[in-house]
Amino acid sequence: MDIFEKQQTIEAIKTVVKTRWFFVLIIVVQAVIVKIFFKGVPLPTASIIFLVAVIALLFNFGYWLYLRRPIEKTTNRSLEIIKFLQIAVDQIAYWFILYFSGTANKMLWVAYILVIMISIALYGKKGVFLTAIAGSILYSGLVIMEYFGLLHAMPPEVFVRSPTLPLKGDWFMTAGQLVGFNSYLFAATAIAVYLGGLFKIREKRLKEQKDELAVKAQVLTTQTQELTKTKDYLHEALTKSDKSRVELMAAQKQLEAKIRELEKYGEVTTGREIRMIELKQKIKNLEEIVKDLQNQIANK
């Protein structure tokens, strides 16, 4: 169970605990009304109703205390147990109320159908089915026990005054009750499982979408990190490359200057050489002219 699931479970149990305060109150108020205004209806004695109510409230208080603790402190195991108790204990409590009322032929058996509704909020398909099976066993057991006269005996005058017929010895009523209860219980279970499945599928779909997106976000985060790294690397490389280019350019300029200087120097040197050749040529010319002139003088 991950933290999210745990949170969901705790929230569901919290809701169930809240409704339980209300439900216990309703049952007690109803019992009081029936006790006062409908004296003929078979009901457990006031002390037993009080005892069951107190136990129920204590249980609920225990759950409440447990759920108040921070989520990190609740272990999966204890949470599973608390989750399981939400339905099982309630079902047993209804059983006791029915047992002490002397007959299973009471409206309270609707509660076995109502807990199916609660089980949707808490359990998966299997849990809802198990809830239904437990309810079926508990209530059918009561009906059969009553048929064989094993229920808590009421004073006979209760049933004389009451229109409620005990199932004791009446196979027709007993069979009707068994068939009717179980058919409706399982019809309700089928619907509950089906509708519960609807919610579960919706939640699952949303969760899947969420998880998918989370994975995508994770991938994107890694990608972003990598890209940032690549970007930084490239930036650095570019800076380096630019710097070395600038350096190279400076070196190139220096070289060019040096070459120009060399060329100039070379030009100067070469020029002088050429001058010298010119001068020599001139001397030669002059010598020839002088010789020529001397010849002329000599000839005269």
- Residues of this chain, 166-225, that bind another protein according to CB under 8 A: 172-173, 175-177, 179-181, 183-184, 186-188, 190-192, 194-195, 197-199, 202-203, 206-207, 209-210, 213-214, 216-217, 220-221, 223-224
Nearest by Cα to 136 from 91, 102, 168: 91
In 193-215, which positions are buried (b, 16+ CB within 10 angstroms) versus exposed (e)? beebeeeeeeeeeeeeeeeeeee
Q: What is the size of the binding site for another protein (CB under 8 A)?
A: 105
Site for another protein in 255-284 (CB under 8 A): 255-256, 258-259, 262-263, 265-266, 269-270, 272, 275-276, 279-280, 282-283
Among 117, 130, 134, 144, binds another protein (CB under 8 A): 117
Site for another protein in 134-153 (CB under 8 A): none
Q: Give yes or no for residue 23 binding another protein (CB under 8 A).
A: yes
Cβ nearer to another protein, comparing 37 with 77:
37
**Cβ proximity of 139 and 151 under 8 Å:** no
Residue type for position 201: I
Cα–Cα distance for residue pair 93/125, rounded to 1 Å? 24
Largest interatomic CA distance in the chain: 195
Among 26, 32, 54, 137, binds another protein (CB under 8 A): 26
Cβ nearer to another protein, comparing 77 with 129:
129
Least spacing, CB of residue 12 vs another protein, in Å: 6
CB atoms < 10 A from the CB of 231, how many?
Answer: 10
**Cβ proximity of 60 and 20 under 8 Å:** yes
Site for another protein in 61-90 (CB under 8 A): none
Least spacing, CB of residue 98 vs another protein, in Å: 13
Nearest by Cα to 180 from 140, 151, 147, 146: 140
Element of type H or E holding 275: helix 171-299
Cβ nearer to another protein, comparing 77 with 233:
233
Least spacing, CB of residue 124 vs another protein, in Å: 14
Q: Is 134 exposed, middle or buried (0-12, 13-18, 19+ CB in 10 A)?
A: middle
Among 120, 132, 138, 143, binds another protein (CB under 8 A): 120
Find the part of the chain contacting another protein (CB under 8 A) among 48-56, 64-72, 106-114, 123-131.
106-114
Residue type for position 34: V
Site for another protein in 31-50 (CB under 8 A): 33-34, 38, 40-41
Among 74, 91, 140, 162, binds another protein (CB under 8 A): 162
Cβ nearer to another protein, comparing 77 with 206:
206
- How far is residue 279 CA from its own chain's centroid? 105
Cβ nearer to another protein, comparing 149 with 266:
266
Least spacing, CB of residue 220 vs another protein, in Å: 4
Cα–Cα distance for residue pair 300/294, rounded to 1 Å? 10
Among 32, 252, 271, 274, binds another protein (CB under 8 A): 252
Residue 168 is classified by DSSP as T
Cα–Cα distance for residue pair 46/244, rounded to 1 Å? 99
Cα–Cα distance for residue pair 208/186, rounded to 1 Å? 31
